[in-house]
Structure 1
Amino acid sequence: MELPPVVFALLKACGCAAALLLLHGLIWLVNLLVVAPVFDPLNELPGESGQFFQSHLDDVADPQLSPDTHERWKKAFGKTFRFHGFGRHDYRLMTFDFRAISHILTSTVYEKPWQTRTIMSRLIGRGIISMEGHEHKVQRKLIGPAFTPQSMKELAPIFYSKAEELCDFWDNELSSKEVPEQGSSKGDLTVDVTIGLGRAMFDAMGLGGFDYDFNSLVDDTRPDHQPYRKMFNVVDQGISPRDVVDLFFPFFRKFYPSEKTVTIEESTKDIRRLGKKIIERKRAELEIDDSDAKDILSLLVKANLSSNPSSRLSDKDLLDQCSTFLFAGTDSVAIGLSWALRQLATHPDIQTQLFDELKASQQAKGIDGYNSDNSDDSGFVEGPSMRGTHNHTAWAKSLDTLPLLDRVVRETLRVSPPVHSTIRVATKDDEIVLSEPISIGGQESNTFRIRKGTYIHIPIEGINFAEDIWGADAREFNPDRWKKLPDVVCALPGIGNVLSFGYGPHSCLGHRFAVSEMKVFLATLVLRFEFAPVKGLHIKKWNSFVTRPFVESIGSDKPQLPLHLLRRS
């Protein structure tokens, strides 16, 4: 039986179209894998070689491998070199050259990759971390005044109150364990500090950010906390192959949603519902009475109401900023404090010196022993009850003047930056100028070209660990190095002589909030407890670009940092 002429012609046309589509795909693939790499300017740079589809991403993203990788590549290729992303066709740039880093992090040519921004937008909305270009500039201009040094100092009583609550939380946990563990004495038991720190940071961000007490240290099952807890659990799971598929083919997420997608969507709805109520309440309060409330949301709403109507943030934008502060502020500070306690536990001499400094500072403020009252001295009108006498409040605000505490926090952020590294992509062709020449095609040059679409890896931890910057003991925890920094450190781009908070227009606006919170919590915790490591447990850094602690032998997909806690008399 012969096909009708119309059907035959249609099939022939479809076959030709399919053949053309296949041919187009083959040409694109050959260009991507073979032709384009030959003409990529990075092809002329020194760098690691590998097989056709060999990737070096694990070598630079895994915190267990990256320190040795960085030093090996620097010795072999200098401070600026290329490596393979997803194969030989995917040339990527890495540089330790300060001039190049400054240019990349300050120039409008370079942005966070769309993949990164898409993932962050799904989790926290279109907040300042997710935005680029004009939108980012407008948001930063409006949000910046809420993070002044004075504003951050006024939040110290909140941090102190929540730090005392965390001490009580751990005290109750220790009291509930009647039988001491092997090798420990009464009042000296193992506690996974990441659990308490995570909840305490969340509560502190709720009060300091929005004048809202989630009270998760008291009750972790509250309906206003659970959506956030679910979202944090999603973040802890990292990036899965299904997430990559959803990223490049979004319709899968819509028509065949994964369990993670369902969790994100349900949690996001609950978070937005709560956030809308908080913003409406705050706006109503400020319209009735222009109070001196010091939380970040109050300052944002005030700035928004007084700004030009064309540049104001919508309620949705305010919600996205709140989510950004809550997630970024909670996670990063909790990670930083976890590593700080780990470092103090493994350096008991430094912990003792810090305790002595803190005890002397309290005595100078007329404080004898830890606080156990519930007086309201927060500065918030009709706000949640804050623990602390006037002396405790003054002491919490004065912690910036303590030299050893400052050095411990700085050194912790250097040795264990919460963000391991960052990536930028060139949005157009550019030329990068270096402070030190490199070999290009056999000739030395202080400049090189980079084409649109090239990915650049900024190794934050690699720079923090560089022996040519910090000395032979660069990987060791040594707070005393901050007494006299090498001259080269003073030239390092970054906030506080480290890249841990970024640099340039996208540097972390909340760095003062994070440092102040770390200092208040560390001071309060060290005065109440003595910390010691648990023998036989190997603590590693985990989760690629975010350096969370976890116990190697347990192999859990959640942050873990067990430490021995001993009550101080």
Structure 2
Amino acid sequence: MGLISILSVFLKACGLAVLLLLLRALAWLANMLVIAPVFDTMKRLPGKTGAFFQSYLDDVLDPQQSADTHNRWRKLYGNTFRFQGFGRHDNRLMTFDFRAISHILTSPVYEKPWQTRSILASLVGRGIFSMEGTEHKAQRKILGPAFSAQNTKELTPIFQAKAEELCDQWDSVVSQTDSSGDLAAQQSPVIDVSNSLGKAVFDAQGLAGFDYAFDSLQDDSKPDYQAYRELFRVVDQGVAPRDIIDLYAPILRKIWPSEKTAKLNKATSSIRHLGRKIIERKRAQVINGESDGKDILGVLVRSSLSSEPSARLSDRDLLDQCTTFLFAGTDTVSIGLTWALRQLSLHPGTQTRLFEELRASRELKTLDGYDSEGSDDSGFVEDPAVRSAHTPSSQWAKSLDSLPFLDIVVRETLRICPPVHSTIRVATKDDEIVLSEPICVDGRPASSVSIRKGTYIHIPIEGINYAEEIWGADAHEFSPDRWTKLPETATSLPGIGNLMTFGYGPHSCLGHRFAVAEMKVFLAAMVLRFEFKPVEGASIKKWNSFVTRPYVEEIGRSKPQLPLHVSRRL
């Protein structure tokens, strides 16, 4: 009888707990759907209104339709307006106003939403992308020296070596086609440049970041590479409804993990196991004076060892930073290069002009910059790593930053095909955003916008990069020469190098120099050795998760790739 009484009390307690949870959920829904919208300042702004639960997120986040959406809404509502996120209760701000954008991206009031940071943390840990506030500021200060202009320049021989390795692989494919005896095949060797570029850049990131050779370009079946590859596959899947549920009920990831979560856990476990070994090896090398510390991990370990104990990064922090670098850097650079080759294939005159500049520069450097004591045949340099840093080819790679046409080709690629499509912020407290041009609020002109705590704000990077009011009537066209004389509207644009592609303010991309330098080295190596032409009939589209990838539509499915005709330069 005592046991029955205990069970009865337990069941009643459970029922009460469930009832309290339901009441709390109902209160939350009532506040979100009924009470909060009454005080929402966003509803006073001009903007797109639909059905109660209608969402316009696809209109602004899908690269297949976002450009048209931006143009259409700006004509209707001006440069600052609202739109529905998940319904009328979720009014969000979008602005093309430079003054507003500068304020949002530099003010501590606005942060990445906790949902975004939670997703990033599940992928790369507590790296700089998933941190805010004082933690982010401290991490940025520690990481800064690793991404300095000088340190980036010292890493260019690594980029050069991997770029040449990639070109050697492509040359082998072209050679096989040339020797096949099939005249039709000889005229159309086709290579998926996106796939092999991703591996080559990943390998370069591994060497420059960890001083670790993944060698995925030679063998992509290795467990170390596959663990990271699984991480990228998870990102490619985008955000599913189950992922949203896991965000708000993270306990489910432990007691009832989804298939995606299980794969992610397995991959991150392998990455952390590898990371611990790499960090232990690098620390021993630095302590014993066996490492020059130019790779990102080497710089961080050296800095950590020389810092006060309270300012040192733990092994977990070191691994999270390097994983963030590898994850973000690989996607940004490989996708940027993929789109660059796509644009050059569609603009043969631009491609030829770039080739001529590169060839002239290479010939001049080979004649005037030859280092006899550091050359392969001098007998003075035995270590392969040292030798690769002193060859004429590597010295030439370090000088690429001074080539004007290469520079504007890369800039224009990053403008018209930004690897990151957009970014989002949330207000952590009430604020007033002053605008550079007035808007209509409740039918009257207003020079500022009142923002309530919790309001989401979308910064349309692609939309700003495509705005005709900023770049001119040909804003949607690939035209590197626009950079020789930018319109005044573009020179006043907030961002790094007159571009929003790498962000702006305290959260701007710390590795922007690294990414641009790597793109230039790879692009120079590829264009010098090969000519690229589009494949007729290939349906190339953009697709967006965290980054804007090229996708090819095939029968019944889509996959990330970019097939191009690749032929040797004569």
With the length of structure 2 as denominator, give the TM-score of the two structures: 0.92
Identity between Structure 1 and Structure 2 (%)? 64
CA 248–506 in structure 1, closer or farther in 2 if over 3 Å, else same: same
- Aligned partner of 2:520 in structure 1 is 519
Change over 3 Å in CA distance of 1:12–1:237 after alignment to 2? closer
Q: Which residue of 2 aligns with 1:281?
A: 281
Deviation at 1:236, TM superposition (A): 1.6
What is the DSSP-based 3-state SS (H/G/I as helix, E as strand, rest coil) of the residue aligned with 2:223?
Answer: coil
Gaps of 5+ in 2: 369-373
Match of 2:347 in 1: 347
Structure 2 CA distance for aligned equivalents of residues 263 and 409 of structure 1 = 36
Report the counterpart of residue 199 of structure 1 in structure 2: 199
2:505 corresponding residue in structure 1: 504
SS at 1:221 equivalent: coil
User: Distance in 2 between the 1:381 and 1:356 partners?
Assistant: 34
Structure 1 residues 140 and 554: CA distance shift in structure 2, 3 A = farther
Q: What residue in structure 2 maps to residue 450 of structure 1?
A: 451
Match runs of 1:152-191 below 5 Å: 152-177=152-177, 185-186=185-186, 188-191=188-191
CA contact (8 A) 1:213 1:384 kept: no
> Counterparts of 1:126 and 1:215 in 2: how far apart (Å)?
27
State the Cα deviation string for residues 196-246 of structure 1 (Å, max 9, x = none): 101100110111112111111111112322211221222222222222222
Query: How far apart are residue 259 of structure 1 and its match?
Result: 2.1
**Per-residue deviation, 1:148:** 0.9
Q: Is the 8 A contact 2:177 2:186 kept in 1?
A: no
Alignment of 1:4-19 (within 5 A): none
* Equivalent-residue separation in structure 1 for 2:563 and 2:533 (angstroms): 9
Range with greater deviation from structure 2 (254-263 or 422-431)? 254-263
Residues 48 and 84, structure 1, Cα contact 8 Å, conserved in 2? yes
Contact 1:157 1:386 in 2 (8 A): no
Specify the alignment match of 2:371 in structure 1.
Answer: none
Distance, in Å, in 1 between the alignment partners of 2:111 and 2:235 is 22
Moved more, 405-414 or 301-310: 301-310
Matching residue's letter, 1:437: P
Q: Is the contact between residue 113 and residue 425 of structure 2 (CA under 8 Å) also seen in structure 1?
A: yes
Structure 2 SS opposite 1:250: coil
For residue 555 of structure 1, report the CA deviation from its aligned partner.
5.7
Distance in 2 separating the partners of 1:332 and 1:48: 32
**Residue 30 (structure 1) shift:** 3.1
Partner of 2:533: 532
User: How many angstroms does 1:384 deviate by?
Assistant: 4.9
In structure 1, the residue corresponding to 2:130 is in which secondary structure?
A: coil
d(CA) in 1 for partners of 2:376, 2:143: 31
| 8 Å CA contact 2:553, 2:559 repeated in 1 | no
Partner of 2:130: 130
| TM-aligned CA deviation for residue 506 of structure 1 | 0.7
Please name the residue that 2:116 is paired with: 116
Query: Per-residue deviation at 1:390?
Result: 2.5
Structure-2 change in CA distance of 1:541 and 1:16 (3 Å): closer
Aligned pairs (5 A) from 1:406-425 = 406-425=407-426
Contact 2:344–2:532, Cα closer than 8 Å, also in 1: yes
**Gapped runs of 5+ residues in structure 1?**
none
* Corresponding residue SS for 2:536: coil
Match of 2:231 in 1: 231
Q: How many residues align?
A: 561
- What is aligned with 1:489? 490
Identify the range of structure 1 (515-524 vs 434-443) with the bigger mean alpha-carbon deviation.
Answer: 434-443
SS in 2 for 1:444: strand
Q: Counterpart of 1:365 in 2: which secondary structure?
A: helix
CA contact (8 A) 1:531 1:564 kept: yes
Per-residue CA shift, 1:107-128, capped at 9, x if unaligned?
1111111111111111111101
Structure 2 Cα separation of the partners of residues 566 and 228 of structure 1: 31
- TM-superposed CA distance for 1:56, in Å, is 0.5
Shift of the 203–384 alpha-carbon distance from structure 1 to 2, 3 Å rule, reads farther
Structure 1 Cα separation of the partners of residues 312 and 10 of structure 2: 56
Partner of 1:301 in structure 2?
301
Q: Distance in 2 between matches of 1:7 and 1:392?
A: 79
SS of the aligned residue for 1:420 comes to coil
Contact persistence 1:55–1:84 (CA under 8 A): yes
Structure 1 distance, partners of 2:111, 2:20, is 35
1: distance between equivalents of 2:187 and 2:293?
40
How far 1:254 sits from its partner (Å)? 1.1
Q: With the length of structure 1 as denominator, give the TM-score of the two structures.
A: 0.93
Secondary structure of 1:469's partner? Answer: helix
8 Å Cα contact 2:375-2:392 kept in structure 1: no
- Describe the SS at the equivalent of 1:498: coil
| Aligned match of 1:242 | 242
**Alignment map for 1:58-77 (pairs within 5 Å):** 58-77=58-77
Report the CA distance between 1:95 and its aligned residue: 0.5
CA distance in 2, matches of 1:219, 1:418: 26
After superposition, the Cα gap between the structure-2 partners of 1:310 and 1:24, relative to the gap in structure 1 and judged at 3 Å, is: closer
Distance 1:235 1:181 in 2: 42
Deviation at 1:7, TM superposition (A): 11
- Aligned amino acid, residue 298 of structure 1: G
CA contact (8 A) 1:293 1:381 kept: no
Residues 114-146 of structure 1: CA distance to partner in whole angstroms, max 9, x if unpaired? 111111111111101111111111110010111
Amino acid at match of 1:394: Q
Query: Does the 8 A contact of 2:70 with 2:463 survive in 1?
Result: yes
Q: What's 2:461 paired with?
A: 460
Q: 1:346 to 1:13 in 2, by over 3 A?
A: closer
Equivalences for 1:343-382 in 2 at 5 Å?
Answer: 343-366=343-366, 375=376
**Amino acid in structure 1 at the alignment position of 2:145:** P
The runs of at least 4 aligned residues of structure 1 exceeding 6 Å deviation read 4-21, 178-183
The 3 A distance-change label for structure 1 pair 173 and 238 is: farther
- Residue 272 (structure 2) aligns with: 272
Letter in structure 1 aligned against 2:219: D
Post-superposition offset of 1:16 = 8.3
Pair 392,7 (structure 1): closer, same or farther in 2 beyond 3 Å = closer
CA distance in 2, matches of 1:350, 1:186: 24
The answer to which of 318-327 and 35-44 deviates more is 35-44
RMSD: 2.8
Deviation of 1:367 after TM superposition, in Å, equals 6.2
- In structure 1, C-alpha distance between the alignment counterparts of 2:255 and 2:435, rounded to whole Å: 49
1:361 shift after superposition = 0.4
- Residue 129 of structure 1 aligns to a residue in which SS? helix
Per-residue CA deviations over 1:313-339 (Å, capped at 9, x if unaligned) read 111100000100111011110000000
Please give the secondary structure, in 2, of the residue aligned with 1:281: helix
Which shows bigger deviation, 144-153 or 343-352?
Answer: 144-153
What amino acid sits opposite 1:265 in the alignment?
A: N
Change (3 A) 1:93 1:401: same
Alpha-carbon distance in structure 1 between the residues aligned to 2:122 and 2:6: 48
